[in-house]
């Protein structure tokens, strides 16, 4: 049972965001507000203020970042976006929510289970949630991240939070995941799923051990980006945070995040940025095409299951179970293919006699397809991946050296988070903030210049430019 401090933590986050904006540069404050909400506030918990939709950690993160931006950042420091298509896609997210509700005004009954018809109140709640967790973080990232120093600030915040997690992860790996329960009064997931190999999967203040490990993988990639740029974090040599984060990631006992945290840094260190960009471009197109590939049985699911079998029978069974559920849920999504089934679990599959839930929706892509249809899927993943695709295409025009390496680090962070939305459902406003930050790379970039040893701030209104 959540304690009083869980409620207090959510309610004080917006005032805390105003303090962050007073203490730090706007880009740092926004990153601290959005990412800090994910890694510090109570997970899988929400409050229901009168007359408002449910408010959870992701909502207060987006809300705090927006209010701080509007109240503290002076108008002269609010940069306009040169691209207009993000506004169109954010508008599509909003419009899709209204249309989805209007096409789901029928109640559903499965045995003893009854799912209500959607109402105007549901439309407002969906729009409220999608704006504050998807649209607003993206637009803030696009408006605030303008220079090389801005990108470095974002990476520093990610690595700093990762370093805060390192001792907590090591402690929980030895003592069991109990920090969340101690501070907030409840465990956010199934505790028994965090017993593995005679040890424990750390959770700290995230929703599960898998989300915790994914965050550590993200911080590891950011640390390698700072290492390549020769930028110190908390006055430490840049290799120190990277090593500490890899150690914490290894003890988290989550295979996919461990692969992200090892393979992506290896790619960054031993291949050219242009090669990394081409790979990211290809994977982004695969993600956008994933529903089509799955519906036409063109995605090599058996190959992935066989690869998992070579590692562990349990992992192979888990992956095959996910694929089977995706097939069933995709079949259900086809019944309302364009705008989906909406909220209240209407996108799930239920036993027609008993009404029990007969499906598990793990991946965010199938959740988006089921709830908002193809329109919702394309508007969300288009907003997430188009900056990545455009940045990969424009990378040759970005000044070579540390500038290009740091931009690629940001690009790969977005890519890893996007890849993970296929098997898992850990959507975080931080992901959309990072995608918005990539927008500047897709606009005008200056001619290549030879960088010096240390970065220097560039004019606030300029694009990402060379380190001079």
- Positive or negative, the CA dihedral 65, 67, 73, 75 is positive
- Specify the pLDDT at position 443: 63
77 versus 238: which is more confidently predicted? 238
- Specify the pLDDT at position 462: 43
Residue percentage of the chain with pLDDT more than 90? 63
Q: Does 366 map to a domain?
A: yes
Q: Does 326 map to a domain?
A: yes
Average pLDDT of the chain to the nearest whole number? 88
- Specify the pLDDT at position 238: 86
pLDDT tens for 314-342 read: 778 888 888 899 999 999 999 999 999 99
Rounded to an integer, the average pLDDT of 32-47 is 95
Q: Does 89 map to a domain?
A: yes
- Specify the pLDDT at position 386: 93
Per-position DSSP letters for 295-361, written without gaps between them: HTT-S-HHHHHHHHHTT-HHHHHHHHHHHHHHHHHHHHHHTTTTT---STTTTS-B-TTT--B----
Q: Which residues share a beta bridge with 236?
A: 233
445 confidence band (pLDDT: 50, 70, 90): very low
Segment of 78-87, 192-201, 294-303, 342-351 carrying the highest mean pLDDT: 342-351
pTM, full prediction: 0.91
**Domain residue limits at 137:** 81-142+277-398+414-427
- Specify the pLDDT at position 331: 93
Nearest one of 386, 407, 388, 417 to 466, comparing CA atoms: 407
- Specify the pLDDT at position 442: 64
Rounded to an integer, the average pLDDT of 407-419 is 94
pLDDT tens for 252-311 read: 988 889 999 999 999 999 999 889 989 999 999 999 999 988 888 888 888 888 888 887
pLDDT beyond 60 at 137:
yes
Nearest one of 237, 230, 211, 427 to 219, comparing CA atoms: 211
pLDDT beyond 70 at 431:
yes
Rounded to an integer, the average pLDDT of 338-349 is 93
What 3-state DSSP class applies to 234?
Answer: coil
Name the token pair of 80.
């306009």
Q: Does 349 map to a domain?
A: yes
Rounded to an integer, the average pLDDT of 21-50 is 94
pLDDT tens for 43-65 read: 999 998 877 788 999 999 999 99
pLDDT tens for 90-131 read: 999 999 999 999 999 999 999 889 999 999 989 999 999 999
461 confidence band (pLDDT: 50, 70, 90): very low
Q: Does 327 map to a domain?
A: yes
Residue 299: what are its φ and ψ, rounded to 5°? -85, 135
What 3-state DSSP class applies to 110?
Answer: strand
- Specify the pLDDT at position 447: 37
pLDDT beyond 50 at 449:
no
pLDDT beyond 50 at 455:
no
- Specify the pLDDT at position 48: 86
Rounded to an integer, the average pLDDT of 35-44 is 95
Number of folded domains that form the chain: 1
Q: Does 87 map to a domain?
A: yes
362 versus 58: which is more confidently predicted? 58
Residue percentage of the chain with pLDDT more than 70? 94
Residue 358: what are its φ and ψ, rounded to 5°? -110, 15
Which residues neighbour 375 within 8 Å (Cβ) at sequence distance 6 or greater? 92, 96, 99, 338, 339, 340
Q: How far apart are CA 378 and CA 368, in angstroms?
A: 9
Q: Does 100 map to a domain?
A: yes
Q: How far apart are CA 466 and CA 468, in angstroms?
A: 6
Q: Does 453 map to a domain?
A: no
Q: How far apart are CA 379 and CA 364, in angstroms?
A: 14
């Amino acid at each position: 049972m959540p304690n009083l401090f869980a409620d207090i933590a959510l309610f004080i986050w917006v005032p805390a965001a105003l303090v962050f904006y007073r203490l730090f540069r706007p880009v740092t404050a926004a990153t601290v507000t959005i990412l800090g909400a994910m890694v510090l506030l109570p997970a899988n918990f929400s409050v229901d203020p009168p007359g408002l939709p449910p408010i959870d950690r992701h909502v207060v993160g987006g809300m705090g970042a927006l209010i701080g931006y509007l109240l503290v950042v002076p108008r002269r420091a609010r940069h306009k976006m040169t691209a207009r298509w993000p506004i169109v896609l954010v508008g599509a997210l909003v419009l899709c929510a209204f249309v989805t509700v209007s096409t789901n005004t029928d109640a559903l009954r499965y045995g003893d289970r009854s799912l209500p018809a959607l109402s105007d109140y549901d439309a407002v709640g969906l729009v409220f949630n999608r704006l504050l967790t998807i649209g607003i973080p993206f637009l803030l990232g696009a408006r605030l991240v303008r220079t090389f120093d801005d990108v470095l600030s974002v990476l520093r915040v990610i690595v700093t939070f990762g370093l805060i997690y390192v001792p907590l992860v090591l402690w929980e790996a030895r003592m069991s995941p109990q920090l969340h329960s101690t501070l907030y009064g409840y465990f956010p997931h199934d505790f028994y799923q965090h017993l593995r190999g005679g040890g424990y999967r750390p959770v700290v203040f995230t929703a599960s051990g898998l989300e915790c490990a994914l965050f550590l993988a993200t911080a590891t990639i950011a640390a390698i980006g700072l290492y390549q740029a020769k930028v110190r974090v908390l006055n430490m040599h840049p290799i120190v945070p990277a090593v500490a984060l890899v150690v914490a990631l290894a003890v988290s006992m989550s295979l996919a995040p461990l692969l992200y945290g090892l393979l992506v840094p290896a790619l960054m260190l031993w291949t050219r940025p242009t090669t990394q960009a081409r790979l990211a471009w290809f994977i982004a197109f695969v993600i956008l095409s994933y529903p089509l590939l799955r519906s036409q049985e063109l995605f090599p699911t058996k190959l992935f299951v066989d690869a998992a079998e070579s590692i562990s029978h349990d992992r192979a069974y888990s992956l095959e179970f996910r694929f089977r559920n995706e097939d069933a849920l995709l079949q259900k999504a086809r019944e309302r293919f364009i705008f989906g089934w909406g909220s209240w679990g209407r996108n799930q599959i239920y036993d027609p006699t008993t009404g029990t839930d007969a499906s598990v929706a793990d991946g965010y892509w199938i959740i988006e397809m089921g709830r908002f249809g193809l329109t919702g899927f394309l508007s969300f993943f288009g907003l997430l991946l188009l900056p990545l695709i455009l940045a990969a295409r424009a990378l040759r025009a970005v000044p070579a050296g540390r500038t290009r390496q740091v931009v690629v680090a940001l690009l790969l962070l977005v890519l890893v988070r996007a890849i993970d939305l296929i098997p898992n459902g850990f959507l975080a406003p931080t992901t959309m903030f990072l995608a918005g930050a990539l927008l500047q790379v897709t606009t005008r970039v200056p001619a290549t210049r030879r960088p010096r040893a240390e970065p220097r701030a560039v004019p606030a209104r300029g694009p990402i430019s060379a380190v001079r």
